[in-house]
């Protein structure tokens, strides 16, 4: 695209030059959970930050970070690989991948009102299986969907796809605070329960038409994607690149990992200790999971102490982790976190 064309596109979009992209981690630089292959074999399986998958019906696929990219503009893509074929997709079977956008970030769209705005979704994609593919925009609160179709013309070839939804949805109660505001689906073969008609806002949750290519039925099929952008207006603009630090901070509103030495506090008896640390402001009070309760907290000058359980207290920008049912602690002794800890406020 020439510089003149880029400028015309930006002017035509009638939107800001920065903060255009409503999608977080659309170029897949952030994989806090690990860049290797994560198997999707159920519901709400996260791999790349801000993206999750479903696989229900016997088939499975993996998601991992890849350096296979369409051009030098991008460093990474997400690679999906079919690792378990579902060759006979039943009505209720479903295979999909999605990113959720917080209500605060999509309130500008005006969905659910008469002045709802147009949006444009664009992304780069490559698959070993050519054909028609589907996805959808969906509201979990209003239960409204808009199915889109796109064509992968040549197998194993990067292609850019642009989908314009020229009419925003004027119906339903769309979340505009810290809940789930808008979900973007990519489908890989689901049953008739989740099939509908493309090109119109409709009630219910569906993300494919009957034209969807049988990707989940194709052994070892691959699907690469990067450069995902959702923006206000009917014109796609050049992908908005944010710094690694900015993108990580956006991701940490929903998920944070930290390990040994990541928090400190003290023992308040032989069986109870707490540690705390400053964190980015999360979307909501996070749930906590840990690598192991064995040797979870260290008492200064002694061996590490096991915890029977952990709990979390969250205030804006701060977290306190409580180790309960400890053994052998001493009141007032410093305590240090020893094991990996995971905080999740995912949508």
Dihedral Cα 309, 312, 313, 317, nearest 10 deg: 150
d(CA 117, CA 129): 34
d(CA 267, CA 271): 8
Distance from chain centroid for Cα 101: 8
Which two structure tokens, joined as six digits, stand for 153? Answer: 């013309």
Q: Do 210 and 88 fall into the same domain?
A: yes
Indicate the residue among 251, 267, 289 that finishes a domain: 251
Q: Do 94 and 205 fall into the same domain?
A: yes
What tens digit of pLDDT does each residue of 4-36 get? 444 444 444 445 578 899 999 999 999 999 999
Contact 345, 255 (CB under 8 A): yes
pLDDT in tens, the chain (347 residues): 455 444 444 444 445 578 899 999 999 999 999 999 999 999 999 999 999 999 999 999 999 999 999 999 999 999 999 999 999 999 999 999 999 999 999 999 999 999 999 999 999 999 999 999 999 999 999 999 999 999 999 999 999 999 999 999 999 999 999 999 999 999 999 999 999 999 999 999 999 999 999 999 999 999 999 999 999 999 999 999 999 999 999 999 999 999 888 899 999 988 999 999 999 999 999 999 999 999 998 887 677 889 999 999 998 899 999 999 988 888 988 998 989 999 999 99
According to the model, what pLDDT value does residue 300 have? Answer: 76
CATH (domain of 21) = 2.60.120.260
Q: Do 196 and 259 fall into the same domain?
A: no
Indicate the residue among 212, 228, 251 that finishes a domain: 251
Q: Do 219 and 329 fall into the same domain?
A: no
Q: Do 57 and 108 fall into the same domain?
A: yes
Q: Do 157 and 288 fall into the same domain?
A: no
Contact 68, 79 (CB under 8 A): yes
Contact 300, 313 (CB under 8 A): no
Half-sphere exposure of 184 (CA within 13 A, CB side): 22
Question: Could you tell me the residue range of the domain that residue 319 belongs to?
Answer: 255-344
| Entry pTM | 0.93
Which two structure tokens, joined as six digits, stand for 197? Answer: 């008609």
Q: Do 12 and 33 fall into the same domain?
A: yes
DSSP classification of residue 169:
-
Total domains in the fold of the chain: 2
Q: Do 270 and 235 fall into the same domain?
A: no
Beta bridge partner(s), residue 264: 276, 336
DSSP string, 272-329: -EEEEEE-PPPSSPPEEEES-STT-EEETTS-EE--SEEEEEEETTEEEEEEES-SS-
Contact 43, 52 (CB under 8 A): no
According to the model, what pLDDT value does residue 316 have? Answer: 85
What tens digit of pLDDT does each residue of 46-81 get? 999 999 999 999 999 999 999 999 999 999 999 999
Q: Do 236 and 268 fall into the same domain?
A: no
Listed in sequence order, the residues at least 6 apart from 60 whose beta carbon sits closer than 8 Å to its beta carbon are 39, 40, 41, 82, 83, 84
Which two structure tokens, joined as six digits, stand for 113? Answer: 């009102």
Q: Do 118 and 185 fall into the same domain?
A: yes
Q: Do 135 and 197 fall into the same domain?
A: yes
Half-sphere exposure of 131 (CA within 13 A, CB side): 17
Indicate the residue among 214, 230, 251 that finishes a domain: 251
According to the model, what pLDDT value does residue 3 have? Answer: 54
According to the model, what pLDDT value does residue 304 have? Answer: 83
Q: Do 204 and 302 fall into the same domain?
A: no
């Amino acid at each position: 695209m020439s510089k003149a064309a880029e400028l015309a596109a930006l002017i035509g979009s009638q939107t800001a030059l920065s903060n255009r992209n409503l999608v977080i981690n659309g170029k897949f630089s952030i994989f806090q959970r690990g860049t290797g292959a994560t198997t999707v074999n159920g519901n709400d399986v996260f791999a790349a930050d801000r993206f999750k998958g479903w696989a229900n019906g016997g088939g499975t696929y993996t998601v991992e970070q890849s350096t296979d990219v369409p051009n030098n503009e991008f460093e990474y893509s997400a690679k999906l690989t079919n690792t378990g074929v579902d060759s006979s997709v039943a009505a209720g079977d479903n295979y999909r991948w999605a990113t959720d956008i917080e209500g605060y970030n999509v309130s500008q769209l005006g969905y659910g009102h008469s002045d709802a705005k147009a949006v444009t979704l664009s992304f780069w994609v490559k698959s070993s299986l050519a054909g028609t593919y589907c996805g959808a925009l969906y509201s979990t609160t209003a239960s409204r969907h808009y199915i889109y179709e796109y064509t992968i013309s040549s197998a194993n070839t990067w292609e850019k796809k642009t989908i314009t939804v020229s009419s925003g949805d004027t119906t339903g109660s769309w979340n505009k605070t810290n809940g789930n505001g808008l979900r973007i689906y990519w489908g890989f073969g689901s049953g008739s329960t989740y099939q509908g008609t493309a090109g119109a806002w409709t009630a219910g949750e569906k993300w494919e038409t009957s034209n969807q290519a049988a990707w989940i039925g194709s052994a070892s099929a691959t699907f690469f994607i990067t450069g995902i952008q959702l923006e206000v207006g009917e014109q796609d603009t050049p992908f908005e690149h944010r710094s690694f630090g900015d993108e990580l901070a956006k991701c940490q509103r929903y998920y944070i990992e930290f390990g040994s030495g990541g928090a400190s506090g003290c023992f308040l008896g032989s069986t109870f200790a707490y540690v705390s640390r400053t964190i980015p402001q999360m979307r909501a009070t996070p749930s906590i999971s840990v690598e192991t309760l064995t040797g979870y907290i260290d008492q200064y000058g002694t061996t590490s102490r096991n915890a029977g359980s952990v709990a979390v207290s969250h205030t804006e920008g701060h977290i306190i982790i409580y180790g309960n049912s400890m053994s052998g602690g001493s009141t007032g002794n410093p305590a240090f976190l020893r094991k990996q800890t995971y905080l999740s406020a995912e949508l």
